[in-house]
Amino acid sequence: MQSLTYQRATSIGEAVSLLQNGGDTARVLAGGTDLIVQARERKRDVSLLVDVKHIPELIGVSYSPDTGLVIGAATPLYQVYGNKDVKEHYPSIVEASSVIGGTAIQGRASLGGNLCNSSPAGDSLTAMMAINAIAHIAGPQGERDVPVEDFFTGPGRNVLEAGEFVVNIHIAPHQSGTGGAWQRFIPRNEMDIAVVNCGTYLALENGSVTNARVALGAVAATPIMVPAISEILIGQALNDEIIDMAADAASEAATPIEDMRGSVKQRKHLAGVLTKRTLAIAAERAQS
Amino acid sequence: MAKIVLNTIINGENREFLADERDSLLEALRERLGLMGAKEGCNNGNCGACAVIMDGRLVNSCCVMAAEIEGAELNTIEGLADADSLHPLQEAFLENAALQCGICTPGFLMASKALLDENPDPSEEEIRWWLAGNLCRCTGYDKIIRAVQDSAQRINSSS
């Protein structure tokens, strides 16, 4: 391991000043399941780890029908998918957060960490984008909100400025007539990085679509929204033909690289398949 | 390199010890405390050979900084058996031949303990999902699954 120091922050202000004083190589330590490995393998230069798990705002999950869901950015995944309100109202968040790593990873890893690691294939990212989650950020200039769909700027890169970190993730209250779903394709049953993943969110009124959001992961330099699908679906009644059109639009929007996990052709195909499947599940949930 | 003093409870005993500030928990356990049960397999969170229980939760000790355990409570493989007898999981692993080379075994035992603490009567599917982050290249897993089922039965019938 490279030479580094460890500091435990107990308030947002303390973390901001530690990060600011620590300069470029100060890093926020949440679950550490990516960062510690990256530091050990010298994929990131780290001189200071600022442990944010003892800041009250960064840990825990709360829900209110008026204000919605707030997930502390460093809350371990098992507490996210195990939360009764998340289970009841946000099944796509459960679907994504419960397949990241195995049990021991889920005991530490967090949605905030997944967000800030900003992998193009990060599993929770497309679930959060589709449901229009908002990242609440603290930093030297104060606090600000950034929609998760606008958070990523490249592989491993995001909008966070020096000294900034994500405090929590906010999702609007659950409304009846809406539903989300999330799936990924991997060649085995568990413990793998997505070949493609897909998050979907639908709002239906009298059988017709009033809102539709589809996000795809591992098909571009960042996870992407597919606005063309929203245009196709909004105002329409869902049927096989229109869902096929949405799936084609997903394949079209995917601009993947070819690597050991999948070819361009396979990934474009999967983008369509997963879009179709998750739209069907989201529609069923919206109607239940 | 800076040394730090850490206070923690390991297997029920208060421990105060010196670690290097850049030690992982796995390095601190093995190199500072001489607790050699947790193994270094991949050292990147994939294999589970270093799994220990921290504040009641299974973690990979290679993905935790030693400094993070200040004030925490740890359970490691060294505390699984009591002075006179093996833990039912250990007995069941032996009797079901759920190990060959043994490198993955401490991690599997701690992961299985964490499972049975939370879910005393898991289904085969639940066991397989729970243990998905522990890799074994010898057994083909079936014997491990059977050992966990066997152990759950023993624990449940004795309580």
Fold of the CATH domain A5-51:
3.30.43
Residue A257 dihedral angles phi and psi, to the nearest 5° = -90, 165
The complex's ipTM works out to: 0.95
Q: Residue A188: its pLDDT value, please?
A: 84
* Cross-chain Cβ contact A6/B43 below 8 Å: no
- The answer to whether B116 and B108 have CB atoms below 8 angstroms apart is no
pLDDT at B146 over 90: yes
Q: Is A54 on the interface with B (CB under 8 A)?
A: no
Q: Residue A59: its pLDDT value, please?
A: 98
> Residue B7 belongs to what domain range?
3-79
pLDDT at B1 over 70: no
pTM of the model: 0.96
Q: Is A172 on the interface with B (CB under 8 A)?
A: no
- The answer to whether A48 and A26 have CB atoms below 8 angstroms apart is yes
Q: Is A101 on the interface with B (CB under 8 A)?
A: yes
Tell me which of B35, B58, B79 is where a domain ends: B79
Tell me which of B57, B79, B101 is where a domain ends: B79
The whole-number average pLDDT for the span B92-117 is: 97
Q: Which of B21, B23, B48 sits opposite A104 (nearest CB)?
A: B48
Tell me which of B17, B48, B79 is where a domain ends: B79
Q: What angle do CA B60, B65, B71 make, to 5 degrees?
A: 100
Looking at beta carbons, which residues of chain B come within 8 Å of A78? 57
A64-171 and A178-287 have identical folds: no
Grouping H, G, I as helix, E, B as strand and the rest as coil, residue B23 is coil
pLDDT over 90 percentage in chain A: 96
A43-64 tens-digit pLDDT: 989 999 999 999 999 999 999 9
A169-186 tens-digit pLDDT: 999 999 999 999 999 999
Q: Residue B53: its pLDDT value, please?
A: 98
Grouping H, G, I as helix, E, B as strand and the rest as coil, residue A7 is strand
- Same-domain pairing of B11 and B67: yes
Q: Domains in chain B: how many in total?
A: 2
Q: Is A3 on the interface with B (CB under 8 A)?
A: yes
pLDDT at A1 over 90: no
Residues 6+ away with beta carbon under 8 Å from A164: A19, A137, A138, A139, A140
The whole-number average pLDDT for the span A222-239 is: 97
* Cross-chain Cβ contact A37/B134 below 8 Å: no
Q: Residue B29: its pLDDT value, please?
A: 98
Selected residue of B40, B43, B65 to mutate for chain A interface (largest A Cβ count, 10 A): B65
Q: Residue A189: its pLDDT value, please?
A: 79
Q: Which of 3.40.50.150, 3.30.390.50, 3.30.9.10, 3.50.50.60 is the CATH number of A178-287? A: 3.30.390.50
pLDDT at A35 over 80: yes
- The answer to whether A15 and A52 have CB atoms below 8 angstroms apart is yes
Sign of torsion, CA A70 A75 A81 A84?
A: negative
The count of CB pairs under 8 A between chains A and B is 92
Looking at beta carbons, which residues of chain B come within 8 Å of A1? 22-24, 27
What is the domain-level CATH number for residue B110?
1.10.150.120
* Cross-chain Cβ contact B111/A103 below 8 Å: yes
Nearest Cα neighbor of B144 from B106, B88, B96 is B96
Q: How far is B62 from chain A (nearest CA, A)?
A: 8
- The answer to whether B92 and B147 have CB atoms below 8 angstroms apart is yes
- The answer to whether A82 and A107 have CB atoms below 8 angstroms apart is no
Q: What mean pLDDT is reported for chain A? A: 96
DSSP string, B145-158: HHHHHHHHHHHHHH
Question: Which residues partner with A169 through β-bridges?
Answer: A71, A135
Per-domain residue ranges of chain A: 5-51, 64-171, 178-287
- Same-domain pairing of B116 and B153: yes
Domain at A64-171: CATH architecture: 2-Layer Sandwich (3.30)
Work out the pLDDT band at A248, boundaries 50, 70, 90.
Answer: very high
- CA nearest to B126 within chain A: A103
B3-59 tens-digit pLDDT: 999 999 999 999 999 999 999 999 999 999 999 999 999 999 999 999 999 999 999
* Cross-chain Cβ contact B134/A102 below 8 Å: yes
- Same-domain pairing of B7 and B53: yes
* Cross-chain Cβ contact B68/A32 below 8 Å: yes
A126-163 tens-digit pLDDT: 999 999 999 999 999 999 999 999 999 999 999 999 99
Looking at beta carbons, which residues of chain A come within 8 Å of B68? 6, 29, 32, 51, 53
